[in-house]
Amino acid sequence: MALQYFFTGWTHHNSYQILPNDSAPRRKSNFFHRYALPATLLLLLAATIFLLVEVNRWRRIYSPFDDYQPLNPFPVVHAQSNVSNPNALAVVSTLYSNNYAIATAVLAHSIRRAKSPARLILLYIDGQVSEEALCISSSAGWELLAVPRIAPPRGGKGVRWHFIDQFTKLHVWSLDKMGVERLVYLDADTLVRQNFDELFHLPFDFAAVPDVYGPGDVRGFSLTFNAGVLAIRPSSTVLQDMKEKTETARYPALQAEQSFLNLYFGAKAARLPYIYNALIAIKRRNPVVWKELKEELSIVHYTDHKPFLLDGQPGENILTAEETRKAVEEARQKYGLWSEEFGWWGLEYERMMKEMNRKFTRCKP
């Protein structure tokens, strides 16, 4: 009886303990197996596929030499490389929107300060740029030349929106009709630091500087060239040949005319030193290289950020002097790595304004 009482009491006592209710965990377990686990597996699968695609994409970096098409029938070296007539030499740039008008003016001022005797010719798309923008550019010393827009092939499919007008740059090859025998093309977002007249006397029909991509981009110091600075012998025959082949040639559309030129001139282009197209991306990619080149830079190219534009500035707006100074200061503060380089542009702007502010004032509508 005692034992029976003991066990009965023990059993009775423990009956008051709340036993784990396995019904709730079972519901959670069922939910996990039915929904959460498959969802997790799907996410992992998607992430794996994404990584594989990205790795494969970076492994297959486009090179015009991997899918080479012999498009260019013209020689690499031209027999007559020395041009003695300054009127036969030209520095050429382009203007596609009003907000780059100040940049073209600063560029012209920097070219003249470097004492280049060449003509300054600015191509612009007729009807796309305001009279004020053209007035600013011509006041700075550019000869204005209206050209028709060259539309990107295939309706612009795949072309970055801010490169959508860039095929118009090909018109620089037509300047032989204006008596130009040699030219150096400069994008409007460049700045001349030192004289570069030696580029007019190269024996090659086409020369450019290799492209550079920032940290994390496996293209790094690339074999392909950047089309922001070109030293060329213009030829309307070459222009016509290129225009006929932009639609049929195979090349990635993303970088517009730069991709096409890398294919067309890929095997025949002379590669120039970085000092002639010093992309500020070089400093971000490898500051040691930038430091090595800094004192000899002839042309700086503001690729990663434009110190003359305010964030969100519409293409039709021309900044006032106050707004331009604000843009430079904001760029220097926001992108401290390039504070000195943005300061170069700001200094050139101030020098220009001291000389030309009155002329620019007359440009206002």
pLDDT band at 27 (very low <50, low <70, confident <90, very high): low
132 membership: H or E segment, kind and range: helix 131-139
**Residue 157 reports pLDDT greater than 60:** yes
Say if CB 254 and CB 213 are below 8 A apart: no
What is the average pLDDT across 41-65? 66
Q: At which residue do the structure tokens 């981009």 appear?
A: 217
Q: Which of 11-15, 48-52, 127-131, 140-144 is the least confident region? A: 11-15
Report in angstroms the alpha-carbon separations of 111 from 105, 159, 284, 299. 10, 31, 26, 10
What is the average pLDDT across 7-29? 46
What contacts 57, CB < 8 A, 6 or more positions away?
none
**Residue 335 reports pLDDT greater than 60:** yes
Q: Looking at residue 277, what is its pLDDT?
A: 98
CA atoms within 13 A on the CB side of 263: 23
Q: Looking at residue 198, what is its pLDDT?
A: 96
Q: Which of 74-83, 232-241, 291-300 is the least confident region? A: 74-83
Q: Looking at residue 140, what is its pLDDT?
A: 98
**Residue 189 reports pLDDT greater than 70:** yes
Q: Which residues pair with 206 in a beta bridge?
A: 232
Residues making up the chain, counted from first to last: 365
Q: Where are the domains of the chain?
A: 87-361
Angle at alpha carbon of residue 307, lines to 301 and 309, rounded to 5°: 115
Using DSSP bridges, classify how beta strands 278-279 and 270-271 pair: parallel, antiparallel or unpaired: unpaired
Q: What is the pLDDT of residues 229-287, one digit of tens each?
A: 999 999 999 999 999 988 888 767 777 888 889 999 988 999 999 999 999 999 999 99
146 membership: H or E segment, kind and range: strand 143-147
CA atoms within 13 A on the CB side of 342: 23
Say if CB 258 and CB 230 are below 8 A apart: no
Q: Looking at residue 54, what is its pLDDT?
A: 56
Q: Looking at residue 270, what is its pLDDT?
A: 96
In angstroms, rounded to a whole number, what is the distance separating the alpha carbons of residues 16 and 76? Answer: 97
pLDDT band at 76 (very low <50, low <70, confident <90, very high): low
94 or 126: whose pLDDT is higher?
94
Q: Looking at residue 334, what is its pLDDT?
A: 96
249 or 362: whose pLDDT is higher?
362
Q: Looking at residue 159, what is its pLDDT?
A: 72
Q: Looking at residue 11, what is its pLDDT?
A: 43
For residue 114 the two structure tokens come to: 């470097």
Q: Looking at residue 89, what is its pLDDT?
A: 98
Architecture of domain 87-361: Alpha-Beta Complex (3.90)
For residue 9 the two structure tokens come to: 């009491």
